[in-house]
Chains A and B, each alone.
Chain A
Amino acid sequence: MAAFCASGLAAGEKVMHVAPERLQDPVLSSLAETGHDVERLIELGRLEARPIDQIYRTEEDFDPPRQVETYREAIDAACSQGYSGLRVGADGTPLLGRADLTAYELRADLLASRSPYVALCAYDRRVCDQGTLTELESVHALRAHRAGPSYGPTFSIHGTDDGGIALGGEFDLVVRDQLRELLLVANEAVTSPTIDLSRLAFADLSSVRSIAEAAQGLSATTGEDVVLRDAPSVFRKIWQLAGFDAFAPSVVFRSGEAT
Chain B
Amino acid sequence: MRTMVTGLRHELFLYTRFSDLVEICVSILRQASEDDEPVLVALASDRLEAVRDALNGGPGNVEFADMAELGQNPARIISAWHDFFARHAEEDRPIVGIGESVWEGRPSPEVAECFLHEALCNVAFARASEFRAICPYDASALDPPVIEHARRTHPLVLDADGPVPNPEFRPDQHRALFEEPLPEPPVDPETAEFDLRSLDRLRRTVSETAIDAGLEPIRADHVLFAVNEAAENSVRHGGGRALLRHWREGSALVFEIRDEGRISELLAGRIPIDAAEQTRGFGLYLVNQLSELAQVRSGPWGTQVRIRVDLNST
Contacts and interface: CB of A to CB of B under 8 A. Distances in A.
Given A209-B278, A233-B218, A151 B197 contact: yes
Contacts of A205: 229, 282-283, 286
Given A202-B203, A204-B225, A234-B225, A241 B197 contact: no
A204 B232 contact: yes
A173 B203 contact: no
A205 B275 CA distance: 11
B236 interface: yes
Contact of A234 (B198, B222, B283): B222
Contacts of A152: 197-201
Contacts of A237: 222, 290
Interface residues of A, number: 27
B290 A174 contact: no
A4 interface: no
Interface residues of B, number: 28
A107 B159 CA distance: 78
Contact of A243 (B221, B229, B232, B274): B274
B141 to A, nearest CB: 34
A223 B314 CA distance: 43
Given A241-B289, A241-B290, A174 B197 contact: yes
Contacts of B197: 146, 148, 150-152, 174
B218 A234 contact: yes
B228 interface: yes
A209 B273 CA distance: 13
A233 B232 CA distance: 22
Interface string B3-42: 0000000000000000000000000000000000000000
A139 interface: no
Given A202-B203, A233-B221, A241-B290, A174 B228 contact: no
Contact of B286 (A153, A233, A242, A247): A242
A172 B201 contact: no
Interface in B222-275: 222, 224-225, 228-229, 232, 235-236, 272-275
A213 to B, nearest CB: 10
B196 interface: yes
A151 B222 CA distance: 25
Contacts of B274: 243
Interface of B: 196-201, 203, 218, 221-222, 224-225, 228-229, 232, 235-236, 272-276, 278, 282-283, 286, 289-290
12 contacts: A152-B197, A170-B203, A172-B200, A173-B236, A204-B225, A204-B229, A204-B232, A209-B275, A209-B278, A241-B286, A242-B286, A243-B275
